[in-house]
Each structure stands twice: as structure tokens, then as C-alpha cells.
Amino acid sequence: MIKESFLKVDNKITDALKSGKAIVALESTIITHGMPYPQNLEMAREVEQVVRDNGAVPATIAIMGGQMRAGLSEGDLERLAKEGASAAKASRRDMAAILATKKMAGTTVATTMQICALAGIKIFATGGIGGVHRGASETFDISADLNEFSKTPVGVVCAGAKSILDIAKTLEVLETNGVPVIGYGTDFFPAFYLRKTGFLVDQNFETPEQIAKMLDVQWQLKMGGVLIANPIPVENEMDKSEIDRYISQALSEAEKRNITGKDITPFLLKSIFEMSNGKSLKANIALVKNNAKVAAKIALAMTKQ
């Protein structure tokens, strides 16, 4: 058992768990490392409201004051947003050190899944998962997110994997780890800014109820997480040739500056934001809200089984 001193579940989340209400977890690196203040705070508030508007209780996940936090107060959310990139970026390997030193940290997909499981939250909405980086055959740069799926029973609604990644290899690692890749109303795996790639999902479910049933069976079998791929809304999709050009230029610049490891994703996303004159950020916010909406519907369907 995790000591209560290391895990703090907000009273609203505790009450929702006890009464069987739908809950949707939200990660926090998009707040700390995704955009500047005050836009990040505005976005965080809006995404939480989307969850509420669709019948669920939002639980933003972070690490603050030596505790894993499931559900933040308005004041905590503002403190996290103001801290921004000065906060740590916490993945599984960082957890113990950040708790021991009582640093503030935004949580990646892997760490958010971990905290969700400890708190008893089954559904989590994010933007896009991490994966196998381009050139990983030389760098071995593979996100801890992929391994987390294999062992942590949480359903993650996302717009696929980030476009900056090697999608084919990312899907191959997920398959190796036995992770179901489910499409919500799509046969094709999306890639963040793009609605579809040339790669198929494992199953296409058309309704939240179908996904809720599948998740129930998955966890009755004592199996791990499920990736639920939800494409970016049509009106927010970006042009593939445009995105590919930005990614290529950003990768070249990252190589010149020798930017690697956990710093690479924030750098690439910031570079794409600048090259697209902010268009990529608008797409990012739109897809996160869309994922929050779908996650809330799935969470609500799970409460009715």
C-alpha cells in the first residue's frame, strides 16, 4: 500500500469514487511544459469544464509538496500554471526523487496512469502519448509511456501518438507489450495533428458504451491499459505536408543543439508552434478538449454497466 502521505486524493474525487460517479483524469505536463502562463491556466480550466459538461468529474493529476495529487483545487491549478516550465517533468523514473525533494512537477502519461491506478481512477484523457522517437535505432529513445500501458489498468483517450514520433515503431512496441489499440469511430491510427496515418487500429468501436464494455472485460481478465485513439476534429486537422515540413526542420535544429531525452518533445512542440504561427497550439487545445469529451462519455458509460 502507498502511504497516505505520498498520495492525496481531493475530497471531490474521493466523494465521486465512493458514490460511483464518472471521473476523468487529466495530465499536467501540458500545463507546465505545453504553453505559457496564463494561456496554460485558461486551457486547464476549459478542459476541466468540458469534462463536467459531459457528466464526469475532472481530476487533474500532478505532484506537489511531496505528494502525488489526484484532483487539484483552483489555487493549486493556478500555482502549477504559474510555475510552468520551472516545474519538473515527471515520468516513472523521477517519481521517488521528486516526492523526496518535494518538488512541483507536471506528470507525463506514464506517471499520470500510475497515479490514476493508485487513486482508483480508470479513465484518463490526454493529448497524444509518447512513443518511439525517430532515429531510435541509434538513440534508443523510447517513451516510458509504452511500457506503462502494459502493466497499468487505465484507459487512455488520446489523439494517437504525437506526430513527431515514429508511428510504425510506436505501434510495434505497443503490440509487443500486448496493449490493445482501439479506435473511437476510426479504422486508422491518428497522429496528433492528423486524423489518420496509414496504420490501422486493432478494433474500431463506434460508441462509448462499446468501449466501456471492452474495458470492463479487459480488467476482469486482470490485464493492463488500453489506448483509445480519438482523431482530432476535422475542422482542426492540419495539413500533412505542412506538419512534416515543420517536424523535419525542428528535428534538424534539435540535432544541431544536441537536445535529447525528455527535453526533445517540449522543444519540438515549441518549434512547431513558432513555425506554424500558433496554429499547432490551437489544434493541440482542440484535440485535448475533444479527448476530454470522449473520455467523459466513456467514464459515464462505465458507471451504467
Hey, how many other C-beta atoms are within 10 angstroms of the C-beta on 43?
20
Give the CB-side neighbour count of residue 66, counting CA atoms within 13 A: 6
CA 179, 18, 288, 205 torsion: positive or negative? positive
Burial label for 209, CB within 10 Å (0-12, 13-18, 19+), is middle
Please identify which of the residues 27, 83, 148, 237 carries the catalytic annotation: 27
3-class DSSP state of 72: coil
* Contact present, 23 and 116 (Cβ < 8 Å): no
Please identify which of the residues 8, 89, 162, 289 carries the catalytic annotation: 162
Nearest to 76 by CA among 68, 59, 91, 64: 64
* Contact present, 54 and 297 (Cβ < 8 Å): yes
Known catalytic membership, residue 162: yes
Runs of H (alpha helix) within 238-278? 240-257, 264-275
Distance separating alpha carbons of residues 44 and 26, to the nearest angstrom: 9
Nearest to 11 by CA among 76, 108, 98, 87: 76
Distance separating alpha carbons of residues 27 and 9, to the nearest angstrom: 15
Known catalytic membership, residue 27: yes
Give the CB-side neighbour count of residue 160, counting CA atoms within 13 A: 30
Active-site residue set: 27, 162
